[in-house]
Structure 1
Amino acid sequence: MAAVPRRTLIALGIAALAGVSACGGTATTASPSAGQPTWTWTDDRGKNISLPRRPQRVVAQSGAAAALWDFGVRPVAVFGPHRLKDGGRDPEVGEVDISKVESIGNVWGEFNVEKYASLRPDLLVAGMYQKNTLWYVPQESVQAVDQVAPSVGVQLSGRPLVEIIEKYGQLAAALGADPKAAPVVAANSRFDAASAALKSLAAARPGLKVMVVTATPDNLYVAYLPDHPDITYWGELGLNIVHPARPTESEGGFWEVLSWENADKYQADVILVDARSQSMKTEEMAKKPTWAKLPAVRAGQLYPWHAAERYSYLGYAQVMEELKADLDQARDDLVK
């Protein structure tokens, strides 16, 4: 969410395909007739996209690409974290086969508009943490990107986890995927089972306190539950989440920002630490004296939090299965 370097906008000789009107969130596919679109979709910005045919060439931000992939859509290109420094697949891109998709950017602020245009995309898809702002599309490139193809934004923050997953499923179906395909049905059942197991654990161990954090060399960020759909969902299942009463306003929500000297403001039996590649690693955090004295740190009860998990049944089934396995082995008597 940091500022990104300014790029020079390029003049593209490609007509804009997006139309703006109406509100809602559904797609329709009609029989062709003179002057009538055959595919429409209204996204979470209220943008109504109308196209002469169902989009075939989809480009998606890595998290959106991962969700669509699990529902059966195969994007032609991705942007956002998808390739690690060693060439391996970044967890943020899920099951996407990065050897079979083009890359138009791998880090924040990197979006190759020229390459994007050369791919002749029909549609761009990205999640939105901030209202009306497509994740990983640099602000200075928005105008040029919009000239190439229409875009669909899926609101992520401030929305129930299951609702977000369902939205990606609906979009995938509108793009031609089969919502009753065996892998999709199996993933849905696995998600339900993982939810039930985590709910049972929470009921059996109400005293187990869990906190979720990310960190930089300067600050510890404690997750504000209402702005994170996954953590909110776990709280609804009964997990005892330690979280601030309000976020730090300068951060636009999501976190309470603490100096490392105040890292002991909240305490928990278990701490889930941001597993993203750009987040500070636990071995680095261990050098901070106040952090090192926390009960969960001293007990070694630090487990990964998959902050950028794709919003699919498969993605969050795996996350909750791992979370339950971690919590099963954790002590719940470290703090009162």
Structure 2
Amino acid sequence: MAHIPRRTLAVLGAVVLLGAGACGTTDAPPSGTAAATASSSAQGPWTWTDDRGKQISVSQRPQRVVAQSSAAAALWDFGVRPVAVFGPHRLKDGGRDPEVGEVDITKVESIGNVWGEFNVEKYASLQPDLLVAGMYQKDTLWYVPPESAEAIDQIAPTAGVQLSGRPLVDIIEKYGELAAALGADPQAAPVVEAKKRFEAASAALKTLAAERPDLSVMIVTGTPESLYVAYLPDHPDIKYWGELGLNIVYPEQPTESEGGFWEVLSWENADKYQADVILVDARAQSMKIEEMAEKPTWAQLPAVKAGQLYPWHAAERYSYLGYAQVMEELTTNLEKSRDDVVSE
């Protein structure tokens, strides 16, 4: 699967372990019972079974967590404070990449910011207790370079959270369970408030979908060579919106070479599907709307001509807060959109 559209060393002989940075991983001590798959005692043994079926058993609860940027963002919203991140987190101008959510990038170490970049020696020097990453492909940790996977496994346990092929809410809950197992308080006021906000945003989008059944929406990303149209069943967020009743235009089948997720179209065939509204991948590494405007077929699409192009946050963190914000923005954009541009 291609990287831009989505998700597409020998073991270190001796590593000098440098001084440690921040030690705490949570804002507050745990309260209540941890997830059934884990023991969250700070003093006793700690176990966790990840979505690969891999059981992690260590002498005490991990304190120094390193996470892929989207996973770090989800854990952060649930109260866990990673000591380092990898994957998109810093923009070219030094600002925070949206993929890392609310993570304070001035307070975490960076061990890689782009695809294929993972500083194994620096990772080891941080003395990590656990690495956390999502998985779009089975048993494959997102943004962990395959050539470095063995070395990384030798340094600290890794935990994977499956992101494709499961409901959006299940993924959010999984991150919440892991955060609780790592000592975060699932009843902390920000977490409870974020869940209420997520539920309210879901209800508002469902109401809009019921009131505007003719408003059609398509989700895409682009590269200089191709337009990728999102295949609804493989994207948890888009599938969730469809379940809420949103009228989503999507391919019957994805392109086989992509392993799911997309139908790949040449720009000459970019008009194969049409919708009143198009959501465009907003990730920093994806093709920008102004660049797509130079493609003649794209420029003639009804939604493009009507100016009904809005962002799709393809790598949004799987937390209640993250998707509450996404759906609030989506509902606001759809409320101001016409539902008759395709028929013009």
TM range (shorter): over 0.9
What is the CA deviation profile of residues 15-66 of structure 1, one whole-angstrom value per residue up to 9, with x for unaligned ones? xxxxxxxxx981124697xxxx610000000000001000000000000000
* Partner residue in 2 for 1:329: 336
* Partner residue in 2 for 1:18: none
Q: 1:309 aligns with which of 287, 312, 316?
A: 316
* Partner residue in 1 for 2:210: 203
Q: 1:158 aligns with which of 143, 161, 165?
A: 165
- Structure 2 letter corresponding to 1:182: A
Contact 1:127–1:135 (CA under 8 A) maintained in structure 2: yes
1:72 aligns with 2:40: no
Q: Secondary structure at the match of 2:39?
A: strand
Where in structure 2 are the equivalents of 1:118-157 lying within 5 Å?
118-157=125-164
Q: 1:42 aligns with which of 46, 49, 73?
A: 49
> C-alpha distance in 2, partners of 1:291/1:2?
21
> C-alpha distance in 2, partners of 1:274/1:307?
6
* Partner residue in 2 for 1:27: 38
Contact 2:15–2:124 (CA under 8 A) maintained in structure 1: no
TM-score (norm 1): 0.93
> C-alpha distance in 1, partners of 2:193/2:325?
13
- Structure 2 letter corresponding to 1:90: D
Contact 1:272–1:304 (CA under 8 A) maintained in structure 2: yes
Contact 2:15–2:125 (CA under 8 A) maintained in structure 1: no
Q: Secondary structure at the match of 1:72?
A: coil
What is the CA deviation profile of residues 263-292 of structure 1, one whole-angstrom value per residue up to 9, with x for unaligned ones? 000000000000001110011101101000
> C-alpha distance in 2, partners of 1:185/1:12?
45
Structure number with higher relative contact order (C-alpha < 8 Å, ≥ 6 residues apart): 2
Contact 2:45–2:59 (CA under 8 A) maintained in structure 1: yes
Identity of aligned residues (%): 80
> C-alpha distance in 1, partners of 2:11/2:56?
23
Q: 2:259 aligns with which of 248, 252, 255?
A: 252
1:10 aligns with 2:17: no
- Structure 2 letter corresponding to 1:237: L
1:107 aligns with 2:114: yes
Q: Secondary structure at the match of 1:50?
A: strand
> C-alpha distance in 1, partners of 2:10/2:289?
38
- Structure 2 letter corresponding to 1:149: A
> C-alpha distance in 2, partners of 1:108/1:165?
24
What is the CA deviation profile of residues 70-109 of structure 1, one whole-angstrom value per residue up to 9, with x for unaligned ones? 0000000000000000000000000000000000000000
* Partner residue in 2 for 1:278: 285
> C-alpha distance in 2, partners of 1:9/1:144?
4
Q: 1:290 aligns with which of 292, 297, 304?
A: 297
> C-alpha distance in 2, partners of 1:25/1:263?
47
Contact 2:229–2:263 (CA under 8 A) maintained in structure 1: yes
Contact 2:52–2:139 (CA under 8 A) maintained in structure 1: yes
Q: What's the offset of the Cα at 1:334?
A: 1.2
Contact 1:11–1:144 (CA under 8 A) maintained in structure 2: no
> C-alpha distance in 2, partners of 1:190/1:30?
30
- Structure 1 letter corresponding to 2:241: W
Any unmatched runs of 5+ in structure 1?
Answer: 15-23
Contact 1:127–1:156 (CA under 8 A) maintained in structure 2: yes
1:172 aligns with 2:179: yes
- Structure 2 letter corresponding to 1:71: F
Contact 2:47–2:57 (CA under 8 A) maintained in structure 1: yes
Contact 2:91–2:97 (CA under 8 A) maintained in structure 1: yes
* Partner residue in 2 for 1:19: none
> C-alpha distance in 2, partners of 1:31/1:67?
21
> C-alpha distance in 1, partners of 2:123/2:72?
15
What is the CA deviation profile of residues 104-149 of structure 1, one whole-angstrom value per residue up to 9, with x for unaligned ones? 0000000000000000000000000000000000000000000000
Aligned-residue CA RMSD in angstroms? 1.6
Any unmatched runs of 5+ in structure 2?
Answer: 4-8, 17-34
- Structure 2 letter corresponding to 1:57: R
Contact 1:275–1:306 (CA under 8 A) maintained in structure 2: yes
- Structure 1 letter corresponding to 2:37: T
> C-alpha distance in 1, partners of 2:296/2:36?
49
